[in-house]
Amino acid sequence: MNMTHYMELLAVNQPWNLLIFMAIPVVLAETLAITELYLLYTRNWSGTVHQVNRFAGIAVGLYFSGVIGYLLVTAVLPITRAGEWRSAIDVVAVGSYLVGGLPLIYIALQELGFVNRSASAQEKIKVHAVCVALFLVFGHIAMIAGMLDPTLFGYAPDMGNTMPMDHGH
């Protein structure tokens, strides 16, 4: 089966790549999103949920900083230099995954006081909500594009290096 580099990354080195590049960041980001909704609904900025939200925002932003740096050096640059992108959909899948982490990094920077220092609490909440929404949009684009067969968009695999699938015949 032909797959994008995004899906290949998640499929190889089981279960570690799936945990490192999907489970950990998604659990942190979903914790951030769920607590964000609770905070927007209750407006309780001093409780445990606020602390969990703050922790998740910082943790996922710092985590994605590492993931993005690692993938740029070990995957994106080598694939680009070698001209091995598997069609435009492959670029969309990987690019969306990486871009999706940027709003989470911005949340971490805000929580750590590096950006929006003079913003009101209401303005900071709006930034959080927009950043979470952007992450969700780009994350879902990455997942959908990543699951597509790149041959649908013009990728022609090198048949010399492709092993035939055994369908039990």
Domain ranges of the chain: 5-152
* pTM given for the model: 0.87
The string of DSSP codes covering 75-134 is IIHHHHHHT---SHHHHHHHHHHHHHHHHHHHHHHHHTTSS-TTS-HHHHHHHHHHHHHH
What contacts 116, CB < 8 A, 6 or more positions away? 110, 123, 124, 127
Percent of the chain, pLDDT > 90? Answer: 76
pLDDT of 164 above 70:
no
Residues 62-109 pLDDT 10s: 999 999 999 999 999 999 999 999 999 999 999 999 999 999 999 999
Residue 168 has pLDDT above 60, yes or no: no
**pLDDT tens-place string over residues 112-146:** 999 999 998 889 888 999 999 999 999 999 999 99
pLDDT at residue 161, rounded to an integer: 54
* Structure confidence at residue 169 (pLDDT): 45
The predicted pLDDT at position 103 comes to 97
Residues 6+ away with beta carbon under 8 Å from 24: 63
Q: Which helix (H) or strand (E) holds 25?
A: helix 24-42
